[in-house]
Amino acid sequence: MTRGRDTKPHIGIFGRRNTGKSSFINRLVNQQVAIVSEQAGTTTDPVRKSIEIFGIGPAIVIDTAGIDDTGELGAKRVSKTMEVLKTVDCAVLLLAGNRFGEEEKALISHFGEWDIPFLIVHNKEDLEPLLPETEETIRKQSGSRILRFSTVQGDYLHEMIEALKDTIPDTVYQQSSLIGDIVHKNDYVLLITPIDQEAPNGRMILPQVMVIRDVLDNDCVNIVLKENQVNNSLRPRP
């Protein structure tokens, strides 16, 4: 059972301001889904994005404000970031520039309190690679593996996806079948799929794709057609 509000894995992205959290999300899904700016503190409140991660599937990624935000408003933003811990199934702690200090240690402690599995990622490797002494300090302080990443070059993307798959708890993927209780192996399943002006151009919406996949997972035969083709498809052939 996920901590989030639906059965998709909820992945929280945490870190200081300007560590590239929004860029990290965009690179992860290969789309511009999060606002990116050179100005630190662009993300002021947690932003939830329903996305599809190749190799993982549907997920909710939560972009958070920097844990080093300052001032009265900054403290409120950090408080909202901490509230996200109640809803995530796993977390990514993003570092950059070999900076690892009290803010990161405190966050790791909170991960432990909420029993949240997490990854530590040193981002912006193209600008400043992770130093061996920094890596050693992080290992001693967290006991976690550290991955290198570059949102600009996309280096280590495959390793990142695989690490995320290993970090997301297995229980999140133990989702019930959508149609498994009403079909049997080798059944023919007729899926009536409207294609109108609300449908995205050139592709199907996620719920349609999920049902088609579920039909295949239950070893059934998919027949997918539009609503105006139903009568014709059921008419006996000469």
Output 204 or 111, whichever has higher pLDDT: 111
219 φψ region: left (φ > 0), alpha (ψ -120 to 50), beta (else): left
pLDDT value of residue 201: 76
Average pLDDT score over residue span 213-225: 90
229 DSSP 8-state letter: G
Which segment of 53-62, 98-107, 171-180 scores lowest on mean pLDDT? 171-180
Which segment of 37-46, 138-147, 200-209 scores lowest on mean pLDDT? 37-46
User: Highest-confidence range of 1-5, 23-27, 99-103, 193-197, by mean pLDDT?
Assistant: 99-103
Output 129 or 53, whichever has higher pLDDT: 129
The residue ranges of every structural domain in the chain are 10-173, 188-234
First to last CA, the chain: 51
pLDDT at residue 132 above 80? yes
Per-residue pLDDT band for 174 (boundaries 50, 70, 90) equals low
Percent of the chain with pLDDT over 90: 45
pLDDT value of residue 36: 46
Render pLDDT for 39-88 as a digit per residue (tens, 0 to 9): 444 445 688 888 778 777 788 899 999 999 989 888 898 999 999 999 99
pLDDT value of residue 50: 82
Residue bearing tokens 């200081």: 16
21 φψ region: left (φ > 0), alpha (ψ -120 to 50), beta (else): alpha
Instruction: Provide the sign of the torsion angle of the four alpha carbons 63, 68, 69, 72, taken in this order.
Output: positive
How far is the C-alpha of 67 from the C-alpha of 76, rounded, in Å?
A: 11
CATH match of 10-173 with 2.30.31.70: no
What's CA 151's distance to the chain center, in Å?
A: 15
Q: What is the pTM of this model?
A: 0.70
pLDDT at residue 121 above 90? yes
Q: Which amino acid is at 169?
A: P
| Nearest CA among 51, 119, 111 for reference residue 86 | 111
User: Highest-confidence range of 42-51, 55-64, 105-114, 152-161, by mean pLDDT?
Assistant: 105-114
| H or E segment and range at residue 122 | strand 118-123
The phi and psi torsions of 81 (rounded to 5 degrees) equal: -65, -40
CB 61 within 8 A of CB 28: yes
Q: Which amino acid is at 14?
A: F
| Nearest CA among 226, 186, 227, 191 for reference residue 209 | 191
pLDDT value of residue 194: 82
